[in-house]
Structure 1
Amino acid sequence: MKLYKAKDSWIVTTEEHSLWFNRRSLSIYSKNEPITDHILSSPAWDSSFVSNINGYIGKVQFVKDGLHWLIFIRSQELVCEINKKHEIYRITDILVQPFDNFEEESVSKGNNNNKYELKCIEELRIWYQETQCFYYSRTYDLTNTVQRSVNQDENIPLWKRADERFFWNRQMLSELLNLADKEHLDTQWIQPIIMGYLNQCHFTANEDTDVQLILISRRNRHRSGVRMHCRGIDEDGNVANYVETEQIVRTNTNLMSFVMIRGSVPFYWSQPGIRYRPPPKIDRSKFK
Structure 2
Amino acid sequence: MPEGQIRKAISGFYYVKYDGGTVRCRGRGVFRKRKITPLVGDWVTYVQEGVEDATITEVHPRKNELVRPPVSNIDLALLAVSIVEPAFSSNLLDRFLVLVESHHIEPVICLTKKDKANEAELQKAEEAAAYYRSIGYSVLMTSIDEPGLIEKLQPFLEGKTTVLAGQSGVGKSTLLNTLLPNLSLETGEISESLGRGKHTTRHVELHELAGGLVADTPGFSSLEFDTLEKQELGSCFPEFLEASEQCKFRGCLHLKEPSCEVKRKVESGEILQTRYNHYLQFLQEITDRKPRY
> Which has the larger share of strand?
1
> Which has the larger share of helix?
2
Question: So what's the TM-score if we normalise by structure 2?
Answer: 0.23
Instruction: Answer with 1 or 2: which has the greater Rg.
Output: 1
Question: So what's the TM-score if we normalise by structure 1?
Answer: 0.23
